[in-house]
Structure 1
Amino acid sequence: MSATNKAVVTTAFIGWMGGHNESLQSLLSDDIEWNISGNSAAAGKTKGKPELMRRVLGPFGARFSGAGTTNDGTRYENDYVWLLTMRNGKAVKGTAFFDSVAFNELWRVKPADLHQN
């Protein structure tokens, strides 16, 4: 990974971990191709940032009341590996690997209302 791409990704993740969802969104190209490997509730492919936000990232974030704390008061812990293909400072392709059992436990938590435009 080039030093520039590494800095862009690092900055986005630091912001996202600090609760700034727009930090992660700014990393993603509008036409990103995203694949979630495995058999989790969110496994599969999405095409474009709007679909990724609607199907995965929006519902993911809506299940948290705070940093790592879900809406039902439990802690969510998981290890993720994201393989990103970068172009002009944006992720154009991504593949996510993680513990699908832990993820599916999170997906059982009732999400907060999502307000979509």
Structure 2
Amino acid sequence: MKHPLILTAMIVFSIQTNAQDTREEFSNKEIIAKGFQQWHDGNGNFFDLLVDDVRWEITGSTPHSKTYTSKKQFLNEVIIPLNKKLRIKIKPTVRNIFADHDMVIVLWDGEATALDGKAYRSSYSWYMKMKNGKITEVVAFLDGIEFADIMKRIKTD
């Protein structure tokens, strides 16, 4: 049988660890929620939350499905080209945000209008690893058919 003092110390340590995790989770969730709200409202740039050496993986089998190893590469190869194809930029609507330790998961829908007047609608699930209030890694799930279509259909160069 464990000594009562050792058992009490183990319980206190467990509670303190869980409280710390809860503060971290709340803070990370709050940062991401604020970033999405500002994006939705047309204020600020959500991608300012990325560290310079972010690892951003787009899952699936689109021509853009791969791991990008820097903020600059991801913005230059995905975000900037996509935005050039849009008359009305993507407006996110968050369905839910979940946090677990340093991971924040956002399920959201994006709606925009392409240069040819067609609607662009996609649902996303982003798994974002956080450190010091910044996003260090992302695994992004999205509608690959919709994304590949707009990237191929709209010519901007």
TM-score using structure 2 length: 0.65
Preserved contact between residue 40 and residue 101 of structure 1 (Cα < 8 Å):
yes
The separation in 2 between residues aligned to 1:19 and 1:64, in whole angstroms, is: 15
> Is 1:13 aligned to 2:57, yes or no?
no
Matches within 5 A, 1:73-92: 73-92=117-136
Letter in 1 for 2:38: G
Task: Give the SS at the match of 1:85.
Answer: strand
Aligned length, in residue pairs: 112
The structure with the largest alpha-carbon Rg is 2
Structure 2, unpaired ranges of 5+: 1-23, 90-111
Q: 1:57 aligns with which of 79, 89, 93?
A: 79
TM-score using structure 1 length: 0.86
Structure 1, unpaired ranges of 5+: none
Question: What percentage of aligned pairs have identical amino acids?
Answer: 27
Moved over 6 A (4+): none
Preserved contact between residue 71 and residue 111 of structure 1 (Cα < 8 Å):
no
Which structure has greater helix proportion?
A: 2
Which structure has greater strand proportion?
A: 2
The separation in 1 between residues aligned to 2:87 and 2:42, in whole angstroms, is: 11
Q: CA RMSD in A?
A: 1.7
The separation in 1 between residues aligned to 2:126 and 2:144, in whole angstroms, is: 14
RCO comparison, higher one (Cα < 8 Å, 6+): 1
